[in-house]
């Protein structure tokens, strides 16, 4: 599909995708198997053409607030799994309020409130609802929640109190691999939480890991699995082995596979949000991910913050360099710039099918 295709044809291929052409499994297989640098660059070129058709040079920026690193689960890939003997923290409401005050003056489109499946909040959801309400009151910004699996009632209450976006990544839609990664966690419950959230008016993000034992066929299963749930945002992250975890000794894959999958995600989800996470390779890594077709920058953390990311490429560095200003400065060198909040509102309204911020089931279009 990409092999031996000249740039002229690539523009036509990009136009076909914009016009609704769907990739077959055979196309996916061929793209995932690309190894020649010039063919991979053509894939990235087509992905950028498609992205630029829908978003121009505009990028969305999410601030990342990991407010509790306690977790009752033991995901084999995660530094914060309950069996890992690490320092953990849980922010109180005043610490969160202070973070919000700093956030207000930055060109951020959404605040991502993330936690481990911390029993302090999971057993008393009102505590989390209170945080969401506080962040909404303090910033007035759209809020993404990344809390792990929550029941329907709690998802409704959170949405009623200001949660706009649910991030809940399946990691893989290959059930056998899922069992090895999200140990002891229900595959169906995770899928249901995203489907229910979508139904009651959230925008939803699904994501997969690569370099975690996923072969080509497993990756195709995951790409199709994400497509089925019609997410508003889709991501892929390279698995980064974490000290003290069951997969800690696995050798880390280069980001080439992640970059290929970002471009493939762009061709499969042409008008959706696709992140370049700073968590993996910081701002230099952001450039490659945007050039592969991403259009969101996530895991933005203030320069003086001591908060964790999730993978934390900069855990042992003196200074964080993933603050909003550093991100925007680098975007500008690429001829890109932050989108407006109005752009973001339009995207969320298009996804939810109703004015954002209104709670309740979307009206059914006859």
Q: Which of ligand SAM, ligand MD0, ligand SF4, none lies near 209, with the C-beta cut-off 5 to 8 A by kind?
A: ligand SAM
By C-alpha distance, which of 255, 194, 256 is closest to 226?
A: 194
Tell whether residue 63 is a contact of ligand SAM (CB under 6 A): no
Contact 337, 58 (CB under 8 A): yes
Contact 277, 250 (CB under 8 A): no
Residues whose CB falls within 8 Å of the CB of residue 157, separated by 6 or more in sequence, listed in order: 125, 129
CB of 235 to ligand MD0, least distance (A): 7
Tell whether residue 310 is a contact of ligand SAM (CB under 6 A): yes
CB of 235 to ligand SF4, least distance (A): 14
Choosing from 114, 218, 222, 238, the residue that interacts with ligand MD0 (CB under 6 A) is: 114
By C-alpha distance, which of 202, 357, 204 is closest to 272?
A: 204
Tell whether residue 27 is a contact of ligand SF4 (CB under 6 A): no
Tell whether residue 206 is a contact of ligand SF4 (CB under 6 A): no
Tell whether residue 313 is a contact of ligand MD0 (CB under 6 A): no
Site for ligand SAM in 142-161 (CB under 6 A): 146, 148
Chain-centroid distance, C-alpha 249: 25
Site for ligand SAM in 175-214 (CB under 6 A): 207, 209
Chain-centroid distance, C-alpha 365: 29
x/- track of binding to ligand SAM for residues 213-242 (CB under 6 A): ------------------------x-xx-x
Tell whether residue 80 is a contact of ligand SF4 (CB under 6 A): yes
Choosing from 42, 44, 59, 81, the residue that interacts with ligand SF4 (CB under 6 A) is: 81
Choosing from 117, 205, 206, 308, the residue that interacts with ligand SAM (CB under 6 A) is: 117
Q: Which stretch binds ligand MD0 (CB under 6 A): 89-97, 180-188, 194-202, 275-283?
A: 275-283
Choosing from 40, 59, 65, 71, the residue that interacts with ligand SF4 (CB under 6 A) is: 71
**Residue 13, both tokens:** 């291929």
Q: Rounded to an integer, what distance in angstroms lies between the CA atom of residue 216 and that of residue 259?
A: 15
CB of 149 to ligand SF4, least distance (A): 8
DSSP letter (8 states) at residue 161: T
Chain-centroid distance, C-alpha 9: 31
Question: What residues form DSSP beta bridges with 165?
Answer: 144, 203
For residue 364, count CB atoms less than 10 angstroms from its CB and return exposed for 0-12, middle for 13-18, buried for 19 or more.
Answer: exposed
Task: Give CA separation, 115 vs 3, 87, 340, in Å.
Answer: 43, 15, 28
Residues that bind ligand SF4 (CB under 6 A): 71, 73, 75, 78, 80-81, 116-117, 148
Residues that bind ligand SAM (CB under 6 A): 77-78, 114, 116-117, 146, 148, 168-169, 171, 207, 209, 237, 239-240, 242, 310-311
């Amino acid at each position: 599909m990409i092999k031996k295709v000249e740039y002229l044809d690539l523009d036509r291929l990009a136009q076909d995708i914009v016009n609704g052409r769907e990739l077959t499994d055979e196309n996916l297989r061929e793209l995932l198997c690309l190894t020649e640098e010039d063919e991979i660059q053509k894939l990235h070129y087509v992905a950028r053409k498609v992205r630029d058709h829908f978003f121009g040079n505009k990028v969305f920026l999410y601030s990342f607030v990991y407010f509790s690193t306690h977790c009752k689960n033991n995901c084999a890939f995660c530094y914060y799994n309950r069996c890992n003997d690490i320092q953990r923290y849980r922010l109180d409401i005043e610490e969160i309020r202070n973070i919000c005050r700093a956030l207000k003056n930055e060109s951020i489109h959404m605040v991502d409130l993330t936690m481990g499946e911390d029993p302090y909040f999971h057993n008393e959801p009102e505590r989390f609802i209170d945080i969401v309400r506080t962040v909404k009151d303090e910033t007035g910004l759209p809020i993404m929640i990344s809390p792990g699996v929550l029941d329907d009632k709690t998802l409704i209450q959170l949405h009623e109190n200001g949660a706009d976006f649910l991030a809940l990544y399946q990691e893989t839609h290959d059930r056998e691999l899922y069992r090895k990664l999200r140990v002891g966690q229900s595959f169906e419950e995770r899928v249901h939480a995203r489907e229910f959230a979508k139904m009651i008016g959230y925008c939803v993000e699904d994501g997969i890991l690569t370099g975690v034992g996923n072969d080509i066929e497993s990756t195709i299963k995951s790409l199709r699995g994400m497509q089925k749930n019609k997410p508003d945002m889709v991501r892929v992250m390279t698995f980064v082995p974490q000290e003290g975890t069951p997969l800690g000794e696995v050798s880390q894959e280069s980001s080439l596979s992640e970059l290929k999958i970002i471009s493939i995600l762009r061709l499969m989800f042409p008008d959706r949000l696709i992140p370049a996470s700073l968590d993996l390779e910081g701002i230099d890594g952001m450039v490659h991910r945007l050039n592969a077709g991403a259009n969101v920058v996530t895991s933005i953390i203030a320069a003086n913050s001591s908060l964790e990311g999730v993978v934390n490429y900069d855990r042992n560095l003196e200074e964080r360099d993933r603050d909003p200003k550093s991100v925007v400065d680098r975007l500008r060198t690429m001829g890109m710039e932050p989108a407006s909040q109005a752009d973001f509102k339009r995207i969320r309204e298009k996804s939810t099918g109703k004015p954002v911020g209104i709670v309740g089931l979307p009206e059914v279009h006859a």
